[in-house]
Amino acid sequence: MSTIFKILRWPLFVIVANALGVQVAAQPPEIRLYPRQLSGNGEWLYYQEFHNGADSAIVKSMYMPDRLAFQSGLLDRFIGNKHFVSLSDKNIVTLVDLSTKECKKLYSVKKMGACTDNRLAVLQESHDHSLELNLYDTKLKLLKKIPFVSDFTIFEKEGLLFTHGPAGSTIGLYNLKSGKYNVIIAHSHGIIRQPCIAASGRAVAFYSYSENDKSLQAVHYDIPKHRVSYFKPFNSDTFLVASQSAPLKIADDGSRVFLTVRQQAVGYVPATQAEIWNASDKYIHPLKVAVDGWKNVDKVMFWEPITNRVGDISNNSLPFARIISGGNYAILCNPEVYEPQYQYESNCDYYLKDIETGTIRLWIQDGAAGLGQFTESPDKSLLGYFYKGAWYIYDIKVDIPIKLTPSRQSKLTP
């Protein structure tokens, strides 16, 4: 193509298009908005704006024309009602006073967490390149320094800060209200995983992984009694698993810990001869052999640190479990009861297990698939679910289902 034609190509196209009456419109830029958080008093809105490939964090007043824009960070959120904080991918924290628009910065920040009482917890690199946990107010005045911390978890509702460091360091719990620091383990020899706290605020639990023997143990800390308890499975062929799909949980009153356990499985070995495979079975044959009748699937168990009582919740007959009612009951099911059938997910029979007594009763027969479909009430005494074309609620303690609607299409009014 000649250089002259390249130069004249676009004007020529415009002339021809205009002669033919064709309108040439520029492609409008794509803008996508995603609301993320509202300030505590409802006066400011934080949302993300994607414009021509750029990602911005926008903080806008709900009543005034004020609008602040930042480059979206690894973590952006409000602190209280008058401050917004952002952690960039360059390890810089920017704190903005929304009333004065004043910005302040912290550097060498590896992790950030905002507390509900207008305080900021940051994991910072010190002058000797070691990590320390620093607690600041909204003017970035240093309030507390905890050395040799590699990670932390904020339990905002309880006002507690769980801290831990590398092997050999201290595991502790800092009370944000009183300023008191309790040492849980003075010299930890493991890597901490999945810390969680009871809804009552009376206990915390976490996994501790030992790199020496590659083992995992559960740790329970009774906060009022300052008591630490440890648990490992008794059988040598059973071990704990820090699973993201089934993380460590603790009962609301802190008395019971729920763990994921796994049997030492034998992997699938391809047969040297022909194998009989049922063509109506939709599961992949090597996977089904590896699962081995649910024997090699992770199970849920409970541990009571005070009495050291342990017990199974799920088993090979009912391998899937969901803990409900603050740790007092569990929903159990087996997804293969009605196989083979044509649907991708088969219906299930659901059972309720009283964890204290171990009794199991059939609750829902031939219900829709999925443990996630059940919704708990705020006080965890009722379950909402859809069954046989209608919506129900169920009172767990009195064992009474209540039909709310005659059909799926029914309108619910207050």
Whether 65 is covered by a domain: the verdict is yes
What pLDDT is recorded for position 27? 59
Q: What is the mean pLDDT of residues 123-142?
A: 90
Q: Which helix (H) or strand (E) holds 302?
A: strand 299-304
pLDDT tier for residue 281 given thresholds of 50, 70 and 90: low
> Which residues does 53 contact at the CB level (< 8 Å), separation at least 6?
none
What pLDDT is recorded for position 179? 87
Lowest mean pLDDT among 69-73, 249-253, 269-273: 269-273
pLDDT tier for residue 7 given thresholds of 50, 70 and 90: very low
Whether 161 is covered by a domain: the verdict is no
pLDDT beyond 70 at 313: yes
Domain of residue 134, residue span: 35-147
Burial class (CB in 10 A: 0-12, 13-18, 19+), 275: exposed
Under DSSP, is residue 55 helix (H, G, I), strand (E, B) or coil? strand
User: pLDDT tens digits, residue range 387-410?
Assistant: 888 889 999 888 888 888 876 565
Q: How remote is the C-alpha of 384 from its chain's centroid?
A: 22
What pLDDT is recorded for position 153? 93
pLDDT beyond 50 at 8: no
Burial class (CB in 10 A: 0-12, 13-18, 19+), 71: middle
User: pLDDT tens digits, residue range 49-87?
Assistant: 888 777 888 999 988 888 888 888 888 889 888 899 999
DSSP 7-22: HHHHHHHHHHHHHTT-
Amino acid identity, position 100: T
Which segment, 43-57, 70-84, 98-112, 262-276, is predicted with the most confidence on average? 98-112
What pLDDT is recorded for position 270? 57
Q: Which helix (H) or strand (E) holds 3?
A: helix 3-19
Q: What is the mean pLDDT of residues 233-247?
A: 83
Q: What is the mean pLDDT of residues 203-224?
A: 92
Q: Which two tokens stand for residue 215?
A: 């083992």
| pTM given for the model | 0.80
Whether 197 is covered by a domain: the verdict is no
CATH number at residue 131: 2.130.10.10
CA distance linking residue 100 with residue 220, whole number of Å: 45
pLDDT beyond 70 at 379: yes
pLDDT beyond 90 at 321: yes
Q: Average model confidence (pLDDT) for the chain? A: 83
Whether 85 is covered by a domain: the verdict is yes
Whether 380 is covered by a domain: the verdict is no
β-sheet bridge partners, residue 403: 392
pLDDT beyond 80 at 412: no
Whether 184 is covered by a domain: the verdict is no
What pLDDT is recorded for position 331? 95
Number of domains in the chain: 1
User: pLDDT tens digits, residue range 346-367?
Assistant: 888 999 999 999 999 999 999 8
pLDDT beyond 80 at 13: no
Whether 143 is covered by a domain: the verdict is yes
Whether 1 is covered by a domain: the verdict is no
What pLDDT is recorded for position 69? 86
Q: What is the mean pLDDT of residues 78-106?
A: 90
Q: Which helix (H) or strand (E) holds 286?
A: helix 285-291
pLDDT beyond 80 at 282: no
